């Protein structure tokens, strides 16, 4: 057995605590708790302890992290963007190399789990998925990675994609994806028939990119909620982005939120900087499960991002007008517990019985950590430091 006690820690509310760990799990947490005689002592020196971060939406196959800087190219249409992406990725290092670089960077910031969307279509087949699956295997036990088979170019309008989606789930994808059933495919029911059909047949989850605007987007959300309810898939269906929820009236938001909550459909946002996004507080108040992710990171779609989910929590709070400690706690929850619930990560959190996987940062409490995004991170997985040297600051993580 391995016994350790982390002393002089601070909990989310700013109270001093100790954390006792045995064989990689928390056995006691509190101001006065003590470890067994002979336990190793690690002094956190007043750092606040946060759950390991969960990135609910990332694209590991698209990023140029680990490669040269690639200047962004402006385009006018989705098809033009896809053409630019295809050309730029053809000149980039192999997917496994770039995916490993991005996972390593995210892990250094304290990410312990992520959901990655991976492009699949009749042209590329399963090659992207197989590459990211290889990267996932290399990180097993360090970062849990759930994979979405993502039909970036559409489903109905791209012959053979339905079969590829089904094959991707058989191959090892955990989630079947969709995208803009009306504005991209022009056949909402046709796309949703395929996506929900595969999910029901294979026991997979669903995650649909939805950029459709205004009333079109709201109609799509209601359609997805109705299908989820009818299929009994509550808690297994997510809609990513859902910009329409930030573009319609409060009454429309409330009506749609009620349907989503009743059906058990969650919403993912990265709080993008150039468009409206879902009203987080209103959705949560209505009972909708809302979580956060980084989305694209330094790729053909945009040049921003570094994989830091604490920074993403700050962005969610900043764009949502979250100022109180309680509200900043919501932003942190979206980057931790809320995402863990969607992915299905077990034994998660800073609680007795859970894996002793956490991030310690120099801040007086969790709210201050979200607002200030301290650069230094001490990352521990099952009570062990990430650096390979016992309990040294985990500023970098390399493989």
Same domain, 147 and 279: yes
The pTM is what? 0.95
Q: Is residue 254 part of a domain?
A: yes
Half-sphere exposure at residue 293, Cβ-oriented, CA atoms within 13 angstroms: 27
Structure confidence at residue 387 (pLDDT): 54
307-to-113, 298, 325, 342, 377 alpha-carbon distances in Å = 12, 10, 24, 19, 14
Q: Is residue 310 part of a domain?
A: yes
Number of folded domains in the chain?
A: 2
Structure confidence at residue 1 (pLDDT): 56
CATH of the domain at 255: 3.20.20.140
pLDDT, tens digit, 9 for 90 and up, residues 1-52: 579 999 999 999 999 999 999 999 999 999 999 888 889 999 999 999 999 9
Q: Which among 367, 358, 361, 291 has a CA at the least distance from the CA of 329? A: 367
Task: Write out the DSSP string of 53-103.
Answer: EEEEEE-TTT--TTS--------SSHHHHHHHHHHHHHTSPPHHHHHHHHH
Same domain, 287 and 143: yes
Q: Which among 234, 215, 236, 214 has a CA at the least distance from the CA of 226? A: 234
Same domain, 62 and 41: no
| Spans of the chain below 50 pLDDT | 388-399
Same domain, 61 and 165: yes
Same domain, 180 and 269: yes
Q: Is residue 158 part of a domain?
A: yes
Q: Is residue 399 part of a domain?
A: no
Structure confidence at residue 386 (pLDDT): 74
Structure confidence at residue 78 (pLDDT): 82
CATH of the domain at 378: 2.30.40.10
Same domain, 323 and 364: no
Same domain, 64 and 43: no
Rg of the chain over Cα atoms, rounded to whole angstroms, equals 21
Q: Which residues of 263-289 are buried (b: 16+ CB within 10 A; e: fewer)?
A: bbbbbbbbbbeeeebbbbeebbebebb
Residues 103/135, Cβ–Cβ less than 8 Å = yes
Distance CA 52, CA 60 (A): 19
Cα maximum dimension of the chain:
67
Structure confidence at residue 334 (pLDDT): 99
Q: Is residue 139 part of a domain?
A: yes
Structure confidence at residue 389 (pLDDT): 36
Distance CA 10, CA 231 (A): 44
Residue 16: give the domain boundaries.
3-51+349-385
Structure confidence at residue 398 (pLDDT): 33
Q: Is residue 390 part of a domain?
A: no
Structure confidence at residue 258 (pLDDT): 99
Same domain, 25 and 159: no
Q: Is residue 391 part of a domain?
A: no
């Amino acid at each position: 057995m391995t016994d350790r006690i982390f002393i002089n820690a601070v909990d989310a509310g700013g109270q001093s605590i100790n954390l006792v760990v045995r064989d990689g799990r928390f056995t006691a947490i509190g101001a006065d708790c003590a470890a067994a005689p002979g336990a190793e002592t690690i002094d956190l020196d007043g750092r606040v302890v946060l759950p390991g971060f969960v990135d609910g939406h990332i694209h590991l196959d698209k990023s140029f992290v680990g490669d040269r800087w690639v200047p962004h190219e402006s385009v006018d249409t989705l098809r033009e963007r896809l053409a630019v992406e295809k050309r730029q990725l053809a000149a980039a290092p192999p997917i496994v190399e770039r995916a490993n670089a991005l996972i390593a960077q995210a892990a250094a910031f304290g990410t312990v789990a992520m959901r990655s969307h991976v492009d699949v279509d009749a042209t590329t087949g399963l090659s992207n998925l197989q590459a990211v699956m290889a990267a996932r295997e290399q990180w097993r036990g360090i970062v849990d990675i759930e994979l979405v088979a993502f039909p970036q170019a559409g489903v109905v309008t791209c012959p053979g994609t339905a079969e590829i989606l089904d094959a991707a789930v058989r191959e090892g994808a955990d989630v079947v994806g969709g995208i803009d059933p009306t504005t991209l495919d022009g056949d909402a029911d046709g796309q949703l028939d395929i996506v929900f059909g595969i999910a029901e047949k294979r026991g997979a989850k669903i995650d649909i990119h939805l950029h459709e605007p205004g009333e079109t987007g709201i109609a799509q959300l209601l359609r997805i909620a109705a299908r989820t309810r009818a299929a009994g898939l509550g808690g297994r269906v997510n809609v990513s982005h859902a910009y329409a929820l930030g573009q319609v009236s409060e009454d429309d938001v409330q009506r749609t939120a009620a349907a989503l909550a009743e059906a058990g459909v969650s919403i993912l946002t990265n709080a993008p900087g150039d468009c409206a996004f879902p009203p987080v507080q209103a959705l949560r108040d209505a009972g909708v499960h809302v979580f956060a992710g980084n989305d694209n990171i330094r790729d053909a779609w945009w040049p921003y991002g570094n994989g830091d989910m604490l920074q993403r929590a700050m962005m969610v709070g900043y764009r949502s007008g979250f100022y109180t400690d309680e509200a900043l706690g919501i932003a942190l929850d979206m980057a931790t517990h809320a995402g863990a619930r969607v992915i299905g990560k077990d034994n998660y959190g800073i609680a007795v019985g859970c894996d002793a996987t956490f991030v310690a940062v120099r801040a007086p409490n969790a709210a201050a950590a979200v607002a200030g995004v301290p650069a230094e991170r001490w990352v521990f997985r099952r009570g062990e430091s990430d650096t390979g040297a016992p309990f040294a600051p985990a500023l970098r993580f390399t493989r």
